[in-house]
Structure 1
Amino acid sequence: MAIICKEAESEVNYVATFKRIMQTAPVPMSPLESLSSSAVCTANSVRVALILVLTRGGSTTKIVAKYRPSMPILSMVVPEVKTEKFDWLCSDEAPARHSLIVRGLVPVLSAGSVKASDVEATKEALVFSLRYAKEKGFCKVGDSVVALHRVGAA
């Protein structure tokens, strides 16, 4: 079955598919739609090994997948860790589970971070994601990767 899937995937013209999808994209685009399509365009142009998306809810990765890149999309779901007085709360893994059905997505639940700043937490998640991608063979040292994430609390 895997051989059949690989052969079928090798016959798809991803650049033409991307152009066809862009022709039907809404104008004007939302900022999230624009960032997602730009990430796929960049990934196609540079021929990266992987698109890495840090997400909390999964909507960004689904929009990236809509543009059908030829490379895998690693959807790193970063749970939100909050404190309320003396209670620690962590968002659930539902976004990762929901991403399992979307073509091209490889959902992974990242470890929650208790870093003091959002910038530190983002950096920690990126390091974890790239280490995971290398361990699983999605990319290797020296490969280019497109990463789509929010910087800090922006």
Structure 2
Amino acid sequence: MIEKANVLGKPIVTAIQMLGPASPRPTSAEATDVTNAVLEGTDCVMLSGVTAAEAHPETVVRTMSRLCKEAEDSIDYKALHMKIKRAVWRPLSKIERTAASAATSVAPKMKAKAIVVVAKSGFKADFVAKYRPSIPILWVVNPECPDSEASHGLVYRGIIPLMGSGASKSTEELITFGVEVLGKEEICKVGDLVVAMQLSSGCPFMPLLWV
């Protein structure tokens, strides 16, 4: 099921009892469950009543986060990207989807540290997330859009949704705002390269920017 959802670009949440409430330290079996879910391609792992009702909610969340990060660090992203590309039906239905695949291939070759996608530019961040890049995807949503559009991105692996500032109207201004936030939040360092995705006259292009 996870593999089919990945190929279709649909988010999938693994919602089972992955960490027990009795101890802040996971058992070997619990750690294996979390790791396997991430390696198999789940977008999210969900804790149940542990986070709200038990004795160590914050510790459990931090433990889950650490296990997910360790599993993500062991993924062969190049092989994963090629696997998804081979499984996608030909031809790709939209030029934006083709560009999203290309961005995921280009970014690591350019040693980019993030991909910036602007909602109003015609691209959707979930197009990019489908190809499982190894770097974060900053999805900058036009401030005129409803909050629900930004929060929708939270369920996809790798997407960091960000509401644009009230002063940012054009695609270029929203991209600049996104790059500035990457630096301020220390997601990227000064001098890091970032790939931006936008449309111009219906044609996609990917300017390279520096933080």
Q: How high is the TM-score relative to the length of structure 1?
A: 0.81
| Partner SS for 2:161 | strand
Distance 1:114 1:142 in 2: 23
Distance 1:78 1:94 in 2: 12
Counterpart selection for 2:113 from 26, 31, 49: 49
Hey, what does 2:125 align to over in structure 1? 61
Q: Which moved more, 1:22-31 or 1:34-43?
A: 22-31
8 A Cα contact 2:119 2:139, kept in partner = yes
Give the match for residue 133 of structure 1.
182
Q: Secondary structure at the match of 2:116?
A: strand
Q: AA paired with 2:185? A: K
Structure of greater Rg:
2
Alpha-carbon distance between aligned partners in 1 of 2:164 and 2:115, rounded to the nearest angstrom: 16
Cα separation, 1, equivalents of 2:163 and 2:96? 22
**Which structure is higher in RCO with an 8 Å CA cutoff and minimum separation 6?**
1
Provide the secondary structure at the position in 2 that maps to 1:70.
coil
**Shift of the alpha carbon at 1:59?**
6.3
| Equivalence for 1:147 | 196
Please tell me whether the aligned partners of residues 51 and 145 of structure 1 are also in contact (alpha carbons under 8 angstroms).
yes
Amino acid of the structure 1 residue aligned with 2:152: H
Provide the residue aligned with 1:34 in structure 2: 98
Distance in 1, Cα, partners of 2:199 & 2:123: 13
Give the conservation status (yes or no) of the 8 Å contact 2:122–2:199.
Answer: no
AA partner of residue 137 (structure 1): E
The runs of 5 or more residues in structure 1 that have no matched partner are 80-89, 116-120
Q: Percent of counterpart pairs with the same letter?
A: 33
TM norm structure 2: 0.60
What amino acid is the match of 2:134? S
Compared CA separation, residues 152 and 93, structure 1 to 2 (3 A):
farther
Cα deviation 1:79-131 (Å, max 9, x = unaligned): 3xxxxxxxxxx33122101111111100011124476xxxxx22211221111
Aligned residues: 139
RMSD (CA atoms): 2.2
> How far apart are the structure 2 equivalents of 1:141 and 1:97?
27
Runs ≥4 in structure 1, deviation > 4 angstroms? none
